[in-house]
Amino acid sequence: MSVTVDKQDLAINSDQQTLALNWINGEWVDSAQHTDSINPATGEVIGTYADSGRDEAALATNAAVQAFRESDWKDNRALRARVLNQTADRFEARREELIRILSLENGKIHAEAAFEVDMIPSKFRYWASVVLTNYGRALEVVPGHLSVVTRSAIGVAGIIAPFNSPLVLTVRSLAPALAAGVTTVTVIKLPGNTAQINYVFSKVLAEVPDLPKGVINVFSESKGRGGSSFLVESKDIRVISFTGSTKTGKAISATGAKTLKLFQTELGGKTPMIIFDDADLEAAAPKVEKALTTFAGQFCMTGSRLLVQRAVADRFRTLITQRLQNVKPGPASDPSSDMGPLIDKSNVSRVDKMLARKKVYQEIAKARRRNIYRRVEESQPHSSILDDPQSFLSSDS
């Protein structure tokens, strides 16, 4: 059950910690369940949030549908451009607060948090300019007959953003949706483990003077609460923007196809870094280090694989090992920290399991190599694996 909260009681619980609320139809909305917000660097509780689900998703969707049908938002390009510029101004005004909460709850060190926040205003301003250049297409199909194509707003869009860059990855979808007149009225679902960030994000939007009620609606939910599923299933949501795993992207695409939704997805993948033997290894090493450690590796452009040509592999391994040994992990509150924490305990456990598997795989690989070389020496002492690698690989199956 959702509850509208009076502004005088906004966001304070009995322990004087922040209660991060949803922002729906221009109102601050509570939910029946509250969940703790955690500082990933220390495990300490830094606040609580209204942990939403299907009820709040339905409320947000209904507000967006009403705003789309009853306001002139979809038709008033001047209003949209003005609101986008005002939003950019408000994000600049709250820059330091956004950097602080992004570091505290998301674990980004100060430079990483500042990089994310500073990308936001220009995105709103760019799309504010695009709003005023609306265009269609016209051609004379036969003499005296014109075929005209115009652009019109499609309806309500749902934005499902990830935890790793919750602000800029939301704005990346939100700004063009507001501007284009195609996906103008928007429902935003943000992850529960960035709820305090989501709340400050919503406060920025609430301060935009000309933004009509219901045009943007924001709710936070933890995993499995059903809010995201509602957006994907709802016939009132015409467009979904999703950033996340390939597995989830496939699932929501299959579900959304039943209501002929349009999708914009950025899904998971591998990002190999390749070092050839003619590379400047001293120049490459610091870039590889940053690629591996930016936001503790929780980033779509993080280098998840390192492929090095054999002739320089040992030398580069030494260089990158030395650099990684000098990286200082720590909380974002410590200016000397080079890398912040993983986002939560489940991700720590996931990485620990990967390291444990790595040790097992290393032993298996060593045993396989010993077995291959032993058989080579016994049967073909003068040959090499490089002479006929497939025969040795197939014989080891």
- State how many domains the chain has: 3
From the centroid of its chain, how far is CA 119? 14
CATH number of residue 91's parent domain:
3.40.605.10
Single residue among 266, 296, 326 that ends a domain in this structure: 266
Whether residues 325 and 352 fall in one domain: no
Single residue among 266, 297, 317 that ends a domain in this structure: 266
Whether residues 12 and 23 fall in one domain: yes
Whether residues 330 and 348 fall in one domain: no
Whether residues 40 and 162 fall in one domain: yes
Predicted local confidence at residue 4, as pLDDT? 58
Of 88 and 366, more confident: 88
| pLDDT tens-place string over residues 15-60 | 457 899 999 999 999 999 999 999 999 999 999 999 999 999 999 9
Contacts of 78 (CB under 8 A, 6+ apart): 132
CATH number of residue 312's parent domain:
3.40.309.10
How is 323-374 classified by DSSP, letter by letter?
Answer: HHHT--B--TTSTT-SB---SSHHHHHHHHHHHHHHHHHHHHHHHHHHHHHH
Host domain of residue 285: 270-343
Whether residues 18 and 51 fall in one domain: yes
> Which pTM does this prediction carry?
0.83
266 labelled catalytic: yes
Share of the chain above pLDDT 70, in %: 87
Single residue among 266, 300, 335 that ends a domain in this structure: 266
142-151, 170-179, 387-396: which is most confident:
170-179
Pick the catalytic residue from 266, 282, 289, 377: 266
Whether residues 96 and 157 fall in one domain: yes
Whether residues 251 and 350 fall in one domain: no
Whether residues 238 and 291 fall in one domain: no
Whether residues 144 and 290 fall in one domain: no
300 labelled catalytic: yes
| pLDDT tens-place string over residues 263-273 | 999 988 778 89
3-state secondary structure of 139: strand
Pick the catalytic residue from 300, 363, 377, 378: 300
Contacts of 184 (CB under 8 A, 6+ apart): 68, 73, 74, 80, 153, 157, 177, 178, 215
Whether residues 218 and 320 fall in one domain: no
| pLDDT tens-place string over residues 157-194 | 999 999 989 999 999 999 999 997 644 456 777 788 89
> What value does the CA radius of gyration of the chain take, rounded to a whole number of Å?
26
Strands (E), the chain: 3-4, 18-20, 22-24, 27-30, 34-38, 45-50, 137-142, 145-149, 156-160, 185-191, 216-221, 237-243, 262-266, 272-275, 305-308
Of 146 and 394, more confident: 146
